[in-house]
Amino acid sequence: MEHTVPLDFVIPPVSTALKSALHTKINQKTKPLGALGQLETLALQIGLCHNSLTPCLTKPSILIFAGDHGVVAAGVSAYPQTVTAQMVANFLAGGAAISVFAKQHGLKLLIVDAGVNADLEPHPQLVNAKIGMGTQNFLTQPAMNSADCLQAIQTGANLVAQQYATGCNCIGFGEMGIGNTSSAALLMHTLTGLPLAQCVGRGTGLDDEQLAHKIAVLQQALEKNGGRGKLYKPQQTLSGFVGGRASPHPTALQALATFGGFEIAMMVGAYLQASEHGMIILVDGFIASSALLVASCLYPAVLDYCVFSHVSNEQGHQALLHHFNATALLNLNLRLGEGSGIALAYPLLQSAVLFLNEMASFAEAGVDSK
């Protein structure tokens, strides 16, 4: 593998110095103890992430990473690859679900061309960060080489750094890429050890016969690449990634290059950079969570900064949330992707911050606390 620049993020666990003070502030609000349920947990997390008793969400943003996948040629999706570029155009025209929801809630929306297999017309909301015209078909070769994989990770990180520089401290990541549930399923299987069949879902709406074919294709891809036990030995080091130094989790980088997508790799870098900056990170559905799985294998503390917006109806997402020991804010049977769950959940973060900052305490309201 090629020699490349090492990953070099610094992601400390969230400080708990204010935990007691935040608990006291929450408990003194004019309500019975725990009466605001999950909103109280959310307010505590936001306060800890921002290391503040009066946190504020500023310039919230969603980045949608789009990329194509070579494995689509094996018939793993109900839709043709051309739909990726067509949906990007729909995002930019304001016609997609995420476009509508982001506008509704005042969320900045940017679309990132990570590797769409088409030449896209310039647009104010479009970021041209194309690594290639889609990944390779991982039935015949790794989806990407190590250099392209690390370039994608670094590009995602750079894009988040740019948003942070504008004052953004709350961000979420969506995706668009026909075939990317196949990549997500293989990443999940490889990095959690859960049975492949438990990780593979219907994606764009496969029927039973198409789903069986998809599972067979992904099993073939595993066998082609040596299977989990052979290719992904924990003691393996990869000089192509990390510049000859031992990776925190070389398995995760190898799996990402072998089975991932450019948009997934960019999300990995985006998660890592956002957590390094102490930003609140809203996590979307299955594909976005598979990217977070890779990121958390590399730097486990990234999970401290993550708010899980919803549990997807896609097979495997509930198991991924269980793997993260996470509780999602919403369960709406969504399986759209695009960051749609992020936009829908964002008002709950606003409510958590508002009650923490503006709701009266018993003493302020002159209400007896007992």
Give me 365's structure tokens: 């309201």
- Residues ≥6 apart with Cβ < 8 Å to 322: none
CATH number at residue 137: 3.40.50.10210
Within a domain: residue 47?
no
pTM of the model: 0.93
pLDDT in tens, 182-228: 999 999 999 999 999 999 988 888 899 999 999 999 999 999 887 54
Average pLDDT of 291-302? 95
The DSSP annotation for 104-136 comes to: HTT-EEEEEEEE-SSPPPP-TTEEE---SSS--
Within a domain: residue 248?
yes
Within a domain: residue 341?
yes
- Residues ≥6 apart with Cβ < 8 Å to 210: 75, 78, 202
Q: What H or E segment, with its residue span, contains residue 176?
A: strand 170-176
Give me 286's structure tokens: 């299955």
Which residues on adjacent β-strands are paired with residue 62?
109, 172
Give me 172's structure tokens: 């979420």
pLDDT in tens, 51-87: 999 999 999 999 999 999 999 999 999 999 999 999 9
Give me 302's structure tokens: 């990234």
To the nearest whole percent, how much of the chain has pLDDT over 70?
92
Q: How far is it, in rounded angstroms, from Cα 86 to Cα 81?
A: 9
Nearest CA-CA partner of 7 in 365, 302, 368, 336: 302
If one counts the domains in the chain, the total is 1
Choice among 175, 263, 314, 338 that is catalytic = 338
Q: What is the 3-state secondary structure (H, E, C) of 194-210?
A: CCHHHHCCCCCCCCHHH
241 pLDDT above the threshold of 90: no
Query: Hey, how many other C-beta atoms are within 10 angstroms of the C-beta on 54?
Result: 11
Within a domain: residue 122?
yes
Going by their DSSP bridges, the two strands 108-115 and 61-67 should be labelled as parallel
Within a domain: residue 364?
no
- Band (pLDDT 50/70/90 cuts) for residue 8 is confident
Q: How far is it, in rounded angstroms, from Cα 297 to Cα 153?
A: 14
Within a domain: residue 9?
no
Q: Please state which of the ranges 6-15, 24-33, 187-196 shows the lowest mean pLDDT.
A: 6-15
Q: How far is it, in rounded angstroms, from Cα 352 to Cα 7?
A: 34
b or e along 180-207 (b: 16 or more beta carbons within 10 Å of the residue's beta carbon)? bbbbbbbbbbbbbebebeebbbbbeebe
Under 8 Å between Cβ of 164 and 19: no
Q: What is the pLDDT of residue 198?
A: 94
- Band (pLDDT 50/70/90 cuts) for residue 238 is very low
At 279, phi and psi to the nearest 5?
A: -80, 150
Residue 64 gets which letter from DSSP?
E
Q: What is the CA radius of gyration of the chain?
A: 21
Average pLDDT of 150-172? 98
Within a domain: residue 118?
yes
Is 338 assigned a catalytic role? yes
- Band (pLDDT 50/70/90 cuts) for residue 36 is very high
Domain that includes residue 227, residue range: 58-348
Nearest CA-CA partner of 218 in 201, 233, 205, 230: 201
232 pLDDT above the threshold of 90: no
Q: How far is it, in rounded angstroms, from Cα 41 to Cα 36?
A: 9
Within a domain: residue 358?
no
